[in-house]
Structure 1
Amino acid sequence: MKAIGFKTSLPITEADSFIAFETETPKPTGKNLLVKIDAISVNPVDFKIRQNSAKDTVLDTPKIIGWDAIGTVEAVGENSTLFKPGDQVFYAGDITKPGSNATHQMIDERIVGKAPKKVSAIQAAAMPLTALTAWEILFDRIRISATKDKNKSILIIGGAGGVGSIAIQLAKKVAGLTVLATASREESANWCKQMGADHIVNHKDLINEIHNAGFKHVDYILDFVDTNSYWDIMVELIKPQGHIASITGSSNPIALNKLKTKSVSFSWELMYTRSMFETEDMIEQHHILNKIADLLDNKTITSTLNHTLQGFTVDNLKQAHQMLESGKTIGKIVIEY
């Protein structure tokens, strides 16, 4: 099978930052599926791993990354019960295993969902990683209930990005929350409105922007940009007994003690936790993806696809990474095979 990977961490402009190569097509065992891939999308985690996982070293075998794909099941392992050959599936994958930047991939069926039937392959390919992340942060980490929490307020920092784009939709259209989303450029503000945000606030003066929108505090805050940079702002804006959750990590220790007087909860979200540790509820990602497929098919939510590149090539993968590294992308970038 054809794959694209890298042997060392190089700037994306370097000739060998990605290389195409041939490798053996895996044979699925256990609960694994072999999927022939039709389209992939790229996420910030892709370029971060490309930049950092092979520093000051040259790998013997190119590393295959990529954590979003849609395709067709070609073969199944002996313990597979959820899918059969010919099924259309989509998934975000497992960060500890070879990724989706290839023509074929072996993937555990417990983290695979049925592909939506009423949207295109490229529209579906844009969704798995970001939708899983947004769903888990809202409904597994914060444990928002569409019944008891309806109309509560949520601030989404980084509203126009990949995760922010679907988090706005799930928060508004599934949970029934009042959504405030950060955006500073006209095009990103318009995108957030299109996704369903009730209020657009500029992150450059966030506290005043929130107050000017008519809110002293917000019930929930999702950080999709930088926990350290926004920490004190989030501490001030969060409602007593509210909940802050983040996906961005922290280069420096976070002063959790600042949340004590308000009895505020804080959660991390990592979409890979279930697959990385093979948790008892690992199959929950299968169920979440099936729900996302249904929400796409019944038009409750829309794909966050915003840019498509045609052809599984080194040049297209480099272009996608360059676009992401600019920090100015809106929605998702998909490469169609």
Structure 2
Amino acid sequence: MKEETSMKNKGIGFSKAVDFGESGTLFEEKELAMPELTSQLDVIVKVLASAVNPVDVKMAEAYQGHDFTVLGFDGVGEVMAVGDDVLGFEPGDRVYYAGQQLRSGTNQVYQAVDSRLIAKAPANLTLSESAALLLTGITAYEILTDALGLAISEGVATGKTILIVNGAGGVGSILIQLAKFIGLQVITTASRPESVEWVKSLGADIVLNHHEDLGMQLKEFGIDQLPYIVLLHSTDKYWNLATRYIAPFGRIASIVETEGLLDMGPLKNIGAQFAWEFMFAKGNFDIRMAEQGQALAKLTDLIESGKLKTTLTKTYKGFSAETLEAAYRDVASNHMIGKVVIVY
């Protein structure tokens, strides 16, 4: 095991639930102990940039403890130390990753990360461009592979169509690109002019206005069945639409929790399937964790070959309570297009 010494760690977090409707400072800075290699599969990373995701906001708002907590999942940084069982990485490597819910997060200078979750960062992207791709990239990747049963191989799904509800957000912005790469015709939803322009720039073929009747709009395009439907917003609201338009033996996937029970009855007699995608499940239960590092390695290949582009739209410079809070507030507003990143 190789380790750096004489390093100091700083973290930014909170000790109570955060209300983003309040004014004033919501986060605090503290000096933290240096992270340790608690597993020989761990690496210590000096974090150079991180992104904020809706899950960060939800976890901050729902926090019920009193201990100082450091969140953050998307990280880009430099490997400083490696455990004895780490393969393929060494000190000095520039890596990127989406971490685990049950470990201290990226909102600190140094972080311990399971090496099975990391990959070499794309050589042709900046720190902020790389940080924008992680949790959303893995989620989009797993929607296609785990939930919909598709391979990430160019043109493999040519001739088929996917409906993505909420294409302009972080996950949707990657999912549109990956879907186009594998050959799918992409129908997505957006309403604001800037959102419509954004999803079209990513490759969306048809853009529906989610403030109007989606069923009527699908009929106008001559669409009465879809083999793949992905709900990235308001699962309850769009469930009837999904079950009405899913084709026999089609697949529906969602990442958004429901407020009530979903009626699975309409899926039975047509052999259709529904799947949840929750990218933290593999890390939370230590199941097939290496698949996420492998997914990021695949995304790196696609980025470096020009098949996939970053979804970065906003960057804050400097690691402070002020910049972190500003980024969290951006995401909490529910008006973000693409991703917001803090470069340390």
- Is the pair's TM-score, using the shorter chain for normalization, greater than 0.5? yes
Query: Displacement of 1:260 after TM fit?
Result: 1.7
Deviations 1:233-253 (A, max 9, x none): 111121122100001121211
Q: How many residues align?
A: 331
Counterpart in the other structure of 2:58: 48
- Note the 1:173-322 alignment, pairs <5 A: 173=181, 175-204=182-211, 205-279=213-287, 281-322=288-329
The one-letter code sitting in structure 1 at the alignment partner of 2:166 is: G
Stretch deviating more after TM superposition (159-168 or 283-292): 283-292
Counterpart in the other structure of 1:328: 335
| Partners of 1:319 and 1:34 in 2: CA distance | 27
Q: Is this contact kept in 2: 1:40–1:101, CA < 8 A?
A: yes
Query: Displacement of 1:214 after TM fit?
Result: 2.6
| Partners of 1:157 and 1:318 in 2: CA distance | 28
What is the SS of the residue equivalent to 2:227?
strand
The one-letter code sitting in structure 1 at the alignment partner of 2:109 is: T
Query: Displacement of 1:318 after TM fit?
Result: 1.2
Counterpart in the other structure of 1:38: 48
Query: Displacement of 1:44 after TM fit?
Result: 0.2
Structure 2 residue aligned with 1:66, among 65, 68, 72? 72
What is the SS of the residue equivalent to 1:107?
strand
| Partners of 2:129 and 2:185 in 1: CA distance | 26
In the alignment, is residue 79 of structure 1 matched against residue 85 of structure 2?
Answer: yes
| Partners of 1:243 and 1:24 in 2: CA distance | 46
The one-letter code sitting in structure 2 at the alignment partner of 1:128 is: L
Q: CA RMSD in A?
A: 1.3
Query: Displacement of 1:334 after TM fit?
Result: 0.6
Structure 1 length normalisation: TM-score?
0.95
Q: Is this contact kept in 2: 1:10–1:16, CA < 8 A?
A: no
The one-letter code sitting in structure 2 at the alignment partner of 1:330 is: I
Stretch deviating more after TM superposition (147-156 or 123-132): 147-156
| Partners of 2:221 and 2:145 in 1: CA distance | 26
Q: Is this contact kept in 2: 1:36–1:74, CA < 8 A?
A: yes
Counterpart in the other structure of 2:134: 128
| Partners of 2:68 and 2:266 in 1: CA distance | 45
| Structure 1: tracts of 5 or more residues without a match | none
Structure 2 residue aligned with 1:95, among 91, 95, 101? 101
Query: Displacement of 1:14 after TM fit?
Result: 4.5
Stretch deviating more after TM superposition (207-216 or 150-159): 207-216
| Partners of 2:307 and 2:156 in 1: CA distance | 20
What is the SS of the residue equivalent to 2:51?
strand
The one-letter code sitting in structure 1 at the alignment partner of 2:44 is: L
Deviations 1:64-89 (A, max 9, x none): 11110100000011221231100110
What is the SS of the residue equivalent to 2:237?
helix
| Partners of 1:308 and 1:123 in 2: CA distance | 9
| Percent of aligned positions that are identical | 38
Counterpart in the other structure of 1:141: 147
| Partners of 2:314 and 2:16 in 1: CA distance | 28
Query: Displacement of 1:149 after TM fit?
Result: 2.8
What is the SS of the residue equivalent to 1:254?
coil
| Partners of 1:161 and 1:271 in 2: CA distance | 16
